[in-house]
Copies of this chain bind each other. A is one copy, B any other.
Amino acid sequence: MKKYINTDPWKIVEDDFMPENYRSSESLFSIGNGMMGQRASFEETYSGEALQGSYIAGIYYPDKTRVGWWKNGYPEYFGKIINSPDWIGFQIIVDNEILDLHNWSVNSFQRILDMRKGLLSRQFVATSPSGKSVRVHVSRFLSMYEPEIGTIRYEISPVNFTGNVQCKLFMEGDVKNEDSNYDEKFWDILHTEANKNYAYLLAETKKTRFRVAYSMNYHVFINDISWQGNAQPHHTETGVSHSFSLELSENDTLRMEKYVSVLSSFNHTINDLKENTIALAQKAEQLGFDYLLKQHQQVWSNIWEHSDIEIEGDLEAQQAIRFNIFQLNQTYTGSDARLNIGPKGFTGEKYGGLTYWDTEAYCLPFFLRTATQDVSRNLLIYRYKHLQKAIENAQKLGFTNGAALFPMVTINGEECHNEWEITFEEIHRNGAIAYAIYNYITYTDDHRFLIEYGLETLIAIARFWSQRVTLSPARNQYMILGVTGPNEYENNVNNNWYTNKLACWCLNYTVGCIDYVKKQAPDQYQELVKRIQFDEYTETSNWLKIVDNFYIPYDSEQGIFLQQDGYMDKEQLPASAIPADSRPINQHWSWDRILRSCFIKQADVLQGIYLFEKEFSDDVIRRNFEFYESRTVHESSLSPCIHSILASRIGDIEKAYELYLRTSRLDLDDYNNEVDEGLHITSMAGTWMSIVEGFGGLRIQDNQLTFHPQIPEKWRKYAFKIRFRGAYIKVTTDVNHVTFENLSETAINFMIFNKTVHLDPYGTKKVNRAVTV
């Protein structure tokens, strides 16, 4: 845990320059716009320890995999969205001394990420080794309005001298990934060109041959007056720049505005790339920094209008939830079904910017509730597009008859991870994808999706489960052997409760969906049956036989669901018994020790209880929560949010609040000592849910929203907004009341504390909390 970010309702603020936090701040102050993203590396030279990172959605490289001993069925490569040419660069030389905060003394420093505006800015006064001080103020943003544009405003003033300032505005293609498996570089630089009208750089990924074009324009002002001098264009084999040199006096201000367009073959034909790229940077320059910023802010303003959560009485909680909402919206805008949400978004190299089950289990519910329906639909279509690859993936492992195993980690539908205990065994993701379909349909009532895409996906998944189960000769029940559950601190276990439960549900749900589609869309059903050679009677009978005789591990001694066979043979200790200096255990203990311990990385049984909550009584939920929460170390970002929701569910608001802080400030307070690697983007959706489903008690029941709002002791009031089938409401809870405002022209019925409420278009209702608590 590391706390150095100032608390503020709308801003992430750092008031000191601490080189040891450089990489952490590069993560925390990251910016993005769905199409590209960037760590908050300094624009000017920084020679200290850094992880420069600039990423473009969809642009990946299949890095050669790295495994101990390769075995059949192992993935051949690890795809990753790679660090891309660096377009933010400024080199500033003051009388022959390069401005570099690693070597200069920093007298004053402030960095602010203004989440309301989507603007990153930084100011400081720095003094060179020879004693010359400059004042610098930099702002940058990636336009949410015109997402192929990035813009930087860089201002510099001599403080205590008159002298020469040389400036180079550059873009450089010779970049590397820290996580390159074989220290290879991933880009070929095809073309560099610099002249008085633009500087242009064309890069191509090796192997995948994506092309990305960059064009740069700029505008220079001295004391707000446009500078008309000539800069020197220059290009090398891998980079382009414009340089100039000026004499500045004390208190002169040199302002440089750099406009960069970034276009890729993911969205443009190769033939158009150069022309479009150059034109866009020129257009940006013409529009100017302030105008572009205004467009950009307008988009953010709309986003906040629809998805802000307000919390009164708890600044830390307020800042944190906005940080989560902000980062989610920076990462994914939902407009392109070819894109998805990497666990670290565009904020670091770890997890390669690839798609994990996080999307279905965490992000989808968030976007379902906060964005228009097409956004979550696009997330599901993304998987549907990968269905054939998922079938091939299962075939590689020995499955037949159209069984699909979606990858644990993917960019193009192929499995990318490089540990067998994950790729082969963490098969619960297949269930999460099925559950997401259920979730989407339940929330939106969009049964067309089921008919057109959902059922085909579900059948392929059901086929997988039906082949993946084993009829145990010892027990004469169906089991699932050799899996890794969400709790990755166990590998290759038998009968992981969560996986078994989910698989059993999947088979059953799919049979129900078949009945529905057969009745509602018989022609389309018959077309599907034929296309996928579906033997309905034989296959569904077999599935139901499995459902009826599925082994679901249970410990009758403790009255709890059993995480997996043999879990109770482990030494049983509470996580509180782990000394503080051994936390997080994954940074202090050997993997051997972790595997054999009873400690849980993340929600596993509780994840299942969260999904199938309606099946369980309060007592069952409470018993399992108490047992498993006490053993959970929450070293996955995906863990505390689910636990927080369940803690709210059983009325343990104090615990729910503690877990809420942990999930929402996971990165801001660096709970797991790893924020330097990037932010936990996908779990941020879980944070949102720990307010809305947790404290707010939002559920869907009988095609209706239901609420059971509670409020943490520290809070005076909190308010969230949700979309539901055309309606759009705001829910404000304070200690005594819950107020519902319908912000749409669609009337809506919902339940609060088990009573139905009707809300007219633009109507308001206030419900007393006190009577029910």
Contacts and interface: CB of A to CB of B under 8 A. Distances in A.
A571 B476 CA distance: 11
Interface string A50-76: 000000000000000111110111100
A475 interface: yes
Contacts of A588: 72
Interface in A339-383: none
Contacts of A424: 590-592, 595
Interface in A564-579: 565-566, 568-572
B481 A73 contact: no
B72 A589 contact: yes
A470 interface: yes
A66 B475 CA distance: 40
B569 A494 contact: yes
Interface in A535-567: 557, 565-566
Contact of A481 (B417, B418, B570, B572): B570
Contacts of A71: 586, 590-591
Interface string A451-491: 00000000000000000001111110001011000000001
A632 B183 CA distance: 42
B589 A398 contact: yes
- How many copies make up the complex? 2
B473 A568 contact: yes
- Grouping DSSP codes into helix (H, G, I), strand (E, B) and loop, the A interface class, with mixed when no group exceeds half, is loop
Contact of A419 (B69, B183, B589): B69
B492 A491 contact: yes
B66 A67 contact: yes
B472 A568 contact: yes
Contact of A473 (B472, B481, B569): B569
A246 interface: no
Contacts of A765: none
Given A473-B571, A569-B475, A595-B492, A72 B182 contact: no
A80 to B, nearest CB: 13
A620 interface: no
A396 interface: yes
A217 B182 CA distance: 41
A720 to B, nearest CB: 37
A397 interface: yes
Given A72-B586, A586-B71, A398 B568 contact: no
A587 interface: yes
A568 B66 contact: no
26 contacts: A65-B68, A68-B417, A69-B418, A69-B419, A72-B587, A72-B589, A73-B592, A397-B593, A420-B592, A424-B590, A424-B592, A470-B569, A470-B570, A470-B571, A471-B571, A473-B568, A473-B569, A474-B568, A481-B569, A481-B570, A481-B596, A482-B595, A492-B492, A565-B565, A565-B566, A566-B566
Given A71-B591, A398-B590, A474-B568, 16 more contacts: A68-B68, A68-B418, A73-B590, A73-B593, A182-B183, A397-B592, A424-B591, A472-B569, A479-B569, A481-B596, A482-B596, A491-B492, A492-B493, A492-B595, A494-B566, A565-B566
